[in-house]
Amino acid sequence: MSYFLGIDTSTTATKALLMRASGAVVAVASSEYPYETPRPLWSEQHPNLWWGATVASIRQVLADSGVDPARVAGVGLTGQMHGLVLLDEAGQVLRPAILWNDQRTGAQCDEIRRRLGKARLIRLTGNDALTGFTAPKILWVQEHEPDLFARARHILLPKDYVRYKLTGDFATDRADAAGALLFDIEARDWSTEVLDALEIPAAWLPRTHEGPEVTGQISTDAALATGLRAGTPVVGGGGDQAAAAVGVGAVAPGIIALTLGTSGVVFASTDRPLVEPEGRLHAFCHAVPGRWHLMGVMLSAAGSLRWYRDTLAPGVGFDALLAPAAETPTGSEGLLFLPYLTGERTPHPDPLARGAFVGLTVRHTQPHLTRAVLEGVAFGLRDSFELIKSTGQTEIRQVRASGGGAKSPLWLSILANVFDVELVTVNTAEGAAYGAALLAAVGAGAWPDVDTACQQSIHVTGVTTPRPDEVGRYDRTYAIYRDLYPALRALSHRLGET
């Protein structure tokens, strides 16, 4: 039997997942590391941490499983998106990577819009210029570290530095590359127009591949370091969100992936490159060849519930906290919660947006507040659904929920009623690493395509259907919720600037 390895280089750890050709997970290992904030708004991490953790996790997963490395038939890569890794002519790291959550590049975002025009930028890349993306980071280094920039010869994304260490090749996948703000998403390759406008040499960028496409093989040096067999193929893989969507089977139009973790992500596969004209949704290539995706990101989803519990009910378990809320009427008797505790991204890209309880009366008790938090997050996620529908992706047949929040039957029920769509859970829980392993299996020929791999390995384990009477009540409350941000925006900005 063949085995396939998925490697996920996240912000806090590198996970290695070993999967049988049947799709069954055999073993998982993880190695943690820190990131640095050397100045306010900065977020950096040295790529050597990723490589050291990759070596440790691969060796651990092989040891734990007892699998002969010669039976590992393919490796797939995924990881944190948008980070900037700069290498010199010899392939040496020039500076710590600037990460996706770094916020120093506001001026560079404005400059990108000035050079290309916002509408043209969105039309080409699918996205507005945001501080998280790679392109403004490149301009920042060019402006603030010119001597270092003059030595740069290679630009890589985080997981692709791991690829370079594994194979010696400079390559990337098209899903991750689309998040660099340098990609023509319709052509599925680097945009000459954007590169020319930003004066970034095309020769510095790696060649691009589809997610299941083989990009190279494990080198002799990497085999000695990791214990894998030299010559083992390595496929393109995908950015963490695209790989996670593969990992729950959200690969065809009409199947939406909903991740209810600290942040919330609504991920919709499309069969053509759709773009939200104002750039309020991310539009990237999918890890599935010939497909794209739209993505809305909510910064405080299950994070809102954790904040609420830790602040107002410390020490109370989540099950005990949520149980009374299930007996509270739909709509929390006129109480609304605005979940912008850390600013917001979709549909309001506003770092100064603030959270709020609105409509409090003496009638309201803690169960009302608890339910209002759950409902407020559901309304915020519905904003992304409404934007997705506005692009022409109107068919939403099923939502596949994952993440810590998806363990709550009450929250799943609220979400199904707010979205008015069937919500399901599936048998896979390892997210992006599992998706990367599936892509490796397709690349090695274990399945003919990604659709087949998902159909044969991923199965529905639970179904939550909407109730028509609840749907109508939530529609009316959602209309009020949508008025909250415009009404409070000016006040939130004044408070944020004090």
Going by the DSSP 8-state scheme, the letter that residue 344 receives in this structure is B
d(CA 290, CA 280): 23
d(CA 279, CA 326): 37
Q: Which amino acid, 85?
A: V
- What are the residues whose beta carbons fall under 8 Å from the beta carbon of 162, sequence distance 6 or more? 7, 9, 14, 50, 51, 54, 77, 79
Q: Are 163 and 77 in contact (CB under 8 A)?
A: yes
Hey, is 302 helix, strand or coil? helix
d(CA 282, CA 296): 6
Cis amide prior to 347 (ω within 30 degrees):
yes
Token pair, residue 365, equals: 């008790």
Catalytic residue, candidates 8, 160, 176, 240:
240
d(CA 405, CA 303): 9
Token pair, residue 484, equals: 């909250």
350 has catalytic annotation = no
Hey, is 131 helix, strand or coil? coil
Distances (CA, A) of 139 to 111, 294, 335: 9, 26, 45
Catalytic site positions: 240
